[in-house]
Every structure is written in structure tokens, then in C-alpha cells.
Amino acid sequence: MWRHFIFQACLNSVIPFTMIAWAEQSVDAGLATILNSTSPIFTFLLTVFLTQHEPATPRKLFGVVAGITGICLIVGFEAFNGLGHEFWPQLAIVAATVCYAGAAIFGRGFKGLDPLMPAAGSLICGALILIPVSVLVDHPWKLAPSPQSILALIGLAVFSTALAFVIYFRLIQTLGSVGTTAQAYLRVPIGVAIGILFLGETLTATIWMGLLCVIIGVAAMTIPSRIKPVLSPKG
């Protein structure tokens, strides 16, 4: 079981977090957002051509396309102007999203377990891998973080990582792999909403269209289809 936790931790946190942190040093935020939102696409493709573990319906395909279109509208198509200028960092972000897709599919193997178990196992294994690397690379004893930074770190660790992982593994059991990775499309609208509430930002018509596309896309990938009742033959 611990081997499964280690593999899940590598796919879901160790490898993608490291690659994205490195790539973000040179890739523009807008383009990074778009590239990082493509995990539902890779999850859908892996499901269709490799695993076939759940129905890859036309409605899910529509949701994938609508969601990524909405992200492009919100961030702005001008973000693609930088595409290819920093090839390796951009490729690293795409590779990270492929890891997310693989993690969502591999996470089906924990079906039947309390979501707390794979969440805790993945986080423990991820910490055991990254802490020694951090000690060797970052020399944390030389750092002097502010109290605000420490509080932010605790908040990210408890709510945005630990609690999020528990919800993540629960969603894999209920929504499936493609439906779970649809949450990637919600990151940008949530960021936009935070900007409106706390920074007084306003929305353009294009952003409103993008938000609508994201909502439609996520709904198409997550709301289950109605199952038609089977009528028994008469007599």
C-alpha cells in the first residue's frame, strides 16, 4: 500500500509542484495559468486511448473544450504570444498537468478506502521525499521568514493541501477522473472573484463570457447523466 502512496505522491505533488515552481520563474502568469488548466484534457485523452476506465462521452469532451475556451477568454488570448519563447519551462508545466491527469486516474485504486487514508499517505510520502531535497537545496536554516509568511504557509498546508487532498480523493470516488480534474477550470474564476471582492477589480464582457464557458464546461463534466429506467416486458 505504501508503494501506491509513494507513486500517488510523486504524480500529484512532488513532480508537478517542483516543475511548476521552477517553470514559474520564467513563464508569464497568464500563459502558466492556461497551460496548468489543461489537466482535464490529458485526463480525457488518457481515458479514451489508454485506460478506458470510465465512459468518455461526447458531453465530457464538450465540457473539456468549453472549459479551456473559458480559461483562454478570462486570461486573454494574448497570453499565447509568449508560447514557445521559454520552451523547456512551458513544457515542464504541461508535463506537470500530465502528472495531475495520471494521478487522477491512478487514484481510482484507492476506491473503498476512507479518503483520509490516501490523502494522509500521499502527504506523508511527499514530505519524506521533499524535505531532504529542501534541506540540501534551500538550506532552510539560513531563511528568516516573517510571521505572515509562516501563517500563510500553515494556511496553505492545512486548507489548500491537506483538506483539499481529502476532498480530492472523495471526488475521484464520486465524480470519476475526468470530473475531478475539472476543478482545474475553477481556479481562474475563483481568482477573478477574489480580485473583485478584495481588490475592487471589474469584469469585461469577455471575462463574463469566459466565466460562463467555464461554468458550462465544469457542469458538463461533473453533473451525472440521467439514467433511463429499464422497462420490463409485459407478460
Hunting for cell 521525499 — which residue is that?
129
State percent of the chain over pLDDT 90.
41
Q: Domain for residue 164, yes or no?
A: yes
Domain of 207? 2-222
Q: How far apart are CA 180 and CA 43, in angstroms?
A: 10
- Using a 10 angstrom Cβ sphere, with 0-12 exposed, 13-18 middle and 19 or more buried, the burial of residue 216 is middle
Q: Domain for residue 227, yes or no?
A: no
Q: Domain for residue 24, yes or no?
A: yes
Helix 205-222, helix 187-199: angle, nearest 10: 140
Q: How far apart are CA 95 and CA 133, in angstroms?
A: 21
Hunting for cell 494574448 — which residue is that?
78
Residues 70-118: tens digit of each pLDDT: 888 888 877 777 777 788 999 999 999 999 999 999 998 898 889 999 9
Number of separate domains in the chain? 1
Q: Domain for residue 235, yes or no?
A: no
Q: Domain for residue 32, yes or no?
A: yes
Residues 132-153: tens digit of each pLDDT: 998 998 888 888 889 999 999 9
| pLDDT for the residue 235 | 45
Quickly state the pLDDT bin for 232 (edges 50, 70, 90): very low
Q: Look up residue 112 and give its amino acid.
A: G
Q: Domain for residue 182, yes or no?
A: yes
| pLDDT for the residue 23 | 92
Q: How far apart are CA 235 and CA 233, in angstroms?
A: 7
* Dihedral of alpha carbons 43, 48, 51, 56, sign: positive
User: C-alpha cell of 209?
Assistant: 463570457
Q: Domain for residue 44, yes or no?
A: yes
Q: Domain for residue 57, yes or no?
A: yes
> From residue 155, how far is each of 94, 123, 152, 195 by CA, in Å?
27, 15, 5, 19
In degrees to the nearest 10, what's the CA dihedral of 130, 134, 135, 136? 100
Residues 199-223: tens digit of each pLDDT: 777 778 888 898 899 989 988 888 8
> What share of residues in the chain are helix, strand, coil (percent, to 5)?
80, 0, 20
